[in-house]
Chains A and B, each alone.
Chain A
Amino acid sequence: RKEVEQDPGPFNVPEGATVAFNCTYSNSASQSFFWYRQDCRKEPKLLMSVYSSGNEDGRFTAQLNRASQYISLLIRDSKLSDSATYLCVVNTNAGKSTFGDGTTLTVKP
């Protein structure tokens, strides 16, 4: 079993739709959690950190459930520019990062 697993893609949604991605992790000692975005043939870039209380940044909402060991990303009112691969990242308290394989989102007109 992989340390970090993500919903298999691809997700194809129309503009304006709401879409949610889940990510599960196996290491219960994991301390910090992130969502990165990776555009085609580009490097990953931080989208948002995920806090225990949940956090929101505009149309994006991230949630953490430590008991069930999963994190989620919700995108509301999808835009064409949201098309990308979304990578879930889990860090241990030693600072070791493990990336999921990503979920690909395509937003269509």
Chain B
Amino acid sequence: EAGVAQSPRYKIIEKRQSVAFWCNPISGHATLYWYQQILGQGPKLLIQFQNNGVVDDSQLPKDRFSAERLKGVDSTLKIQPAKLEDSAVYLCASSLNPGLDAETQYFGPGTRLLVL
């Protein structure tokens, strides 16, 4: 079974530039998550989708970050404009359904972003 796919794997940009990340979840997984993981910290949830609807985006800096999940499958996360503190690994994860017995999250390899 194919895992969660993400691209690009690495990205270096200058501050104030824009960047976009792409995620393809495991087939059939209704829930998709975007996390930001800063070095030395745990993943922080940015946004959670259930199919193509947003379940939680309370920690998404909406002045610069946006995300969409068209047709309830692939998702993109965009940062515009980027700041130095956005340097982190952006992890995408998916799960079958946020029910009690199916909450295992499967993570993609992540996109390492460096903002100079």
A104–B48 Cα distance when bound, in Å, is: 27
Distance between B60 CB and nearest chain A CB, rounded to angstroms:
13
Selected interface stretch from A11-19, A41-49, A54-62? A41-49
Given contacts A96-B56, A97-B33, A101-B40, contact A43 B108 (CB under 8 A): yes
Are A46 and B56 in contact, with the CB atoms below 8 A? no
Contact with A95, one of B40, B98, B109 (Cβ below 8 angstroms): B98
A contacts with B, residue count (CB < 8 A): 21
Report the Cα distance A34→B95, complex, angstroms. Answer: 14
Closest partner residue, chain B, to A97 (CB atom): B45
How many residues does chain B have at the interface if contact means C-beta atoms less than 8 Å apart?
Answer: 23
Q: Which of B35, B103, B110 contacts A32 (CB 8 A)?
A: B103
Interface of A is mostly: strand
Identify the interface centre among A32, A34, A95: most chain B CB within 10 Å of its CB: A95
User: Which residues of B approach A to under 8 Å, CB–CB?
Assistant: 31, 33, 35, 40-45, 48, 50, 55-56, 91, 98, 100, 103-105, 107-110
Q: With contacts A43-B109, A44-B43, A102-B41 known, what are 15 further pairs, Cβ within 8 A?
A: A34-B104, A42-B109, A43-B110, A44-B91, A44-B105, A44-B107, A87-B42, A94-B55, A94-B56, A95-B31, A95-B50, A96-B48, A97-B45, A97-B105, A99-B45
Contacts A/B (CB < 8 Å), 24 sampled? A31-B100, A32-B100, A32-B103, A34-B104, A43-B107, A43-B109, A44-B107, A46-B105, A91-B103, A94-B55, A94-B56, A94-B98, A95-B31, A95-B50, A95-B55, A95-B98, A95-B103, A96-B45, A96-B48, A97-B33, A97-B48, A97-B105, A99-B35, A100-B42
